Structure 1
Amino acid sequence: MASTPAGAIGGGGTYGKAHGSELSASARYSRIKVTQQSGPTGGKRGTVSSSDVNWKPPLCWYEPVFSPAQLKDFAENKGDGDVGLRDGWIGSTLWTDHFKDGKDATSIFTTPSTVKGYKNYNLGKDGYFWRGVAPDLNAVDDTSLCSRLMFWVDAGKVPDVPNAPTPKTLAEYAYNKIKVPSTSIELKPTARSTVNLPTWAWLDKGTFNEVKVRAELPDTGLWAETTAKPVALHLDPGTSDAETYPASGNCTINDDGSIGMPYANGDADKTPPCGITYLHASNGTPYHLKASITWQITWQGSDGSGGDLPDGTFETTQDMNVQEIQSVNR
Structure 2
Amino acid sequence: MGESDTKGEANGKELTASASYSRIKVTQVSGPTGGESGTLASTDVNWEPPPCWYEPLFTPEQMKNFAEADGSGQVSIRQGWIGSGLWTDHFRDEKDAANYFGTPSTVKGYKNYNLGKKGYFWHGVAPDVTAIDDTTLCSRLMFWQDAGEIPDDPNAPTAETLAEYAYDKVKVPETEIELKPAVRSTVNLPTWVWLDKGTFKEVKVRAELPGTGLWAETTAKPVALHLDPGTKDAETYPASGNCEINEDGSIGTPYTKGDADKTPPCGIRYLRASNGDPYQLKASITWQISWEGAGGANGDLPDGTFETTQDMNVQEIQSINR
What is the TM-score normalised by the length of structure 1? 0.94
Displacement of 1:17 after TM fit?
Answer: 6.0
What SS class does the counterpart of residue 176 from structure 1 fall into?
helix
* 1:51 aligns to 2:40 (yes or no): no
Residue 220 of structure 1 corresponds to which residue in structure 2? 212
What SS class does the counterpart of residue 124 from structure 2 fall into?
strand
Conserved 8 A contact 2:10-2:62: no
Question: Match of 2:7, as an amino acid?
Answer: A
Question: Match of 1:134, as an amino acid?
Answer: A
Displacement of 1:257 after TM fit?
Answer: 0.2
Quick one: which of 48, 69, 88 aligns to 1:96? 88
Residue 7 of structure 2 corresponds to which residue in structure 1? 18
Range that drifts further, 256-265 or 16-25:
16-25
Residue 250 of structure 1 corresponds to which residue in structure 2? 242
What SS class does the counterpart of residue 172 from structure 1 fall into?
helix
* 1:134 aligns to 2:126 (yes or no): yes
Displacement of 1:186 after TM fit?
Answer: 0.2
Residue 289 of structure 2 corresponds to which residue in structure 1? 297
Structure 1: which 5+ runs fail to align?
Answer: 1-15
Query: 2:230 and 2:16 mapped to 1: Cα distance?
Result: 47
Quick one: which of 280, 304, 307 aligns to 1:312? 304
Residue 6 of structure 1 corresponds to which residue in structure 2? none
Query: 2:131 and 2:224 mapped to 1: Cα distance?
Result: 32
Query: 1:71 and 1:191 mapped to 2: Cα distance?
Result: 63
Query: 2:271 and 2:104 mapped to 1: Cα distance?
Result: 68
Residue 166 of structure 2 corresponds to which residue in structure 1? 174
Conserved 8 A contact 1:191-1:319: no
Question: Match of 1:39, as an amino acid?
Answer: G
Regions of 4+ moved over 6 Å: none
Conserved 8 A contact 2:96-2:106: yes
Query: 2:9 and 2:295 mapped to 1: Cα distance?
Result: 28
Query: 1:20 and 1:146 mapped to 2: Cα distance?
Result: 20
Residues 236 and 74 of structure 1, relative CA distance in 2, 3 Å threshold = same
Quick one: which of 49, 66, 76 aligns to 2:68? 76
Query: 1:309 and 1:328 mapped to 2: Cα distance?
Result: 47
What is the TM-score normalised by the length of structure 2? 0.96
Query: 1:253 and 1:24 mapped to 2: Cα distance?
Result: 48
* 1:144 aligns to 2:133 (yes or no): no
Residue 227 of structure 2 corresponds to which residue in structure 1? 235
Structure 2: which 5+ runs fail to align?
Answer: none
Residues 314 and 240 of structure 1, relative CA distance in 2, 3 Å threshold = same
* 1:195 aligns to 2:179 (yes or no): no
Displacement of 1:115 after TM fit?
Answer: 0.4
Residue 314 of structure 2 corresponds to which residue in structure 1? 322
Range that drifts further, 318-327 or 34-43:
318-327
What SS class does the counterpart of residue 138 from structure 1 fall into?
helix
Conserved 8 A contact 1:299-1:308: yes
Conserved 8 A contact 1:167-1:301: yes
Query: 1:90 and 1:241 mapped to 2: Cα distance?
Result: 63
Conserved 8 A contact 1:283-1:322: yes
Question: Match of 1:18, as an amino acid?
Answer: K
Aligned length: 315
Conserved 8 A contact 2:39-2:172: yes
Quick one: which of 269, 283, 293 aligns to 1:277? 269
Conserved 8 A contact 1:17-1:26: no
